[in-house]
Amino acid sequence: MNPSLLRELVPAVIGVLVRRGADFASAEDAVQEALIRALEVWPEDVPRDPKAWLVAVAWRKFLDATRAERARKGRELAVGVAPAPGPAPAVDEELQLYFLCAHPSLTPASAVALTLRAVGGLTTRQIAEAYLVPEPTMAQRISRAKRTVSGVRFDQPGDVATVLRVLYLVFNEGYSGDVDLAAEAIRLTRQLAAAIDHPEVAGLLALMLLHHARRAARTAADGSLVPLAEQDRGRWDTALIAEGIGILQAALARDRLGEFQAQAAVAALHADAPTAEETDWVQIVEWYDELCRLTDSPVVRLNRAVAVGEADGPRAGLRALAALDTSLPRYTAVAAYLHERDGDTARAARLYAEAAHTASNLAERDHLTRQAARLNSRRPAHDL
């Protein structure tokens, strides 16, 4: 028996039950019971159609639970009869489940948790460990999310952009506990890409693959961060890069540009450069201009300032930076980098130290502190 097969089937089976009339929470509970039964039965007798088997067992579990509730409360059973046995139809239940778990009525944190639970098939414990919260806290979050979407009509069109934002949130969490959330996000995005023909889904998948390809080179043996320009490109995963670029090129050819395609194009230009010095920064600035047009995001404009500094010189980058809000995350770190490039190492050292105090995580704080120390070590003692 292949445990990964069970996880891959979960969203489609939940989707079938919800389409037939089960509320989301009851459907998810019934599918979990069916999975337990599969773990007991399948080692001895794997069904010819695993999905149809799970649908049939989960539907019976749901009907049993509903009948018991009806008997207890004297309510009428408001669901149809069990379907005739046979192969499960290949419809869009799985796609609809993505939309349901990323419903706009949910907070981002709840949407992420529900997506990992219902679509990803992770246990509540695994999700709690990945997000460094107690298991009861995560269980309550998931339960509230289920209640929130329980009354949502399943046949309403979903918002692809919301689903993609949720998956990107999962990807950016990286690795924690015993779950590799970056790899999980890629798996879920692959499933979504197989279920819907949409250039932005392909763009997000390409972006994830291109970023993930550099993962092994991002940290040194002591755990410290390695900036992109200093990474050993021989450690980049060339197969993932080739796949990501191929997916991106096919998406861009459809001429329906979106923000994830544009971000992936920037990542592709970094991945395609044999060395940091050969990076096509002029074209990267052009892609950031497209991103600004698409999103008008201050974070995009901050990244654009870095690219301008590389393409047109640090003073041009500082001029682009001056138009932005100084309270932006990473603003001070970017200013430090551009001032160092411009030769003002004393100011850069002060800014690196200031940025370290407001860094969002320990690895980034350590990196910025090292940068400040590196510049200070080059200055005469009377200048410190």
Token pair belonging to 195: 């279920």
* Domain contains 54: yes
Q: Are residues 315 and 336 in the same domain?
A: no
* Domain contains 180: no
pLDDT mean across residues, the chain: 86
* Domain contains 113: no
* Domain contains 348: yes
Q: How confident is the model at residue 90 (pLDDT cuts 50, 70, 90)?
A: very low
* Domain contains 122: no
Q: Determine the average pLDDT of the residues in 282-295.
A: 96
pLDDT at 205: 97
- pLDDT of 16-35, one tens digit each? 888 787 888 888 888 888 88
Among candidates 82, 120, 86, which has minimal Cα distance to 101? 120
| Cβ neighbour number for residue 170 with a 10 Å cutoff | 23
* Domain contains 102: no
8 A C-beta contact, residue 258 and residue 207:
no
Domain that holds residue 294: 280-321
pLDDT over 90 for what percent of the chain?
A: 50
- pLDDT of 206-220, one tens digit each? 999 999 999 999 999
pLDDT at 89: 42
Q: Are residues 58 and 7 in the same domain?
A: yes
Chosen domain end from 46, 73, 100: 73
Q: How many domains does the chain have?
A: 3
Chosen domain end from 73, 103, 130: 73
Give pTM, 2 decimals: 0.77
| Cβ neighbour number for residue 101 with a 10 Å cutoff | 29
* Domain contains 284: yes
Report the C-alpha dihedral over residues 368, 374, 380, 381, rounded to 10 degrees: 60
DSSP state of 104: T
Q: Determine the average pLDDT of the residues in 172-177.
A: 66
8 A C-beta contact, residue 293 and residue 266:
no
Residue listed under structure tokens 């891959």: 8
Q: Are residues 297 and 349 in the same domain?
A: no
Chosen domain end from 24, 42, 73: 73
* Domain contains 92: no
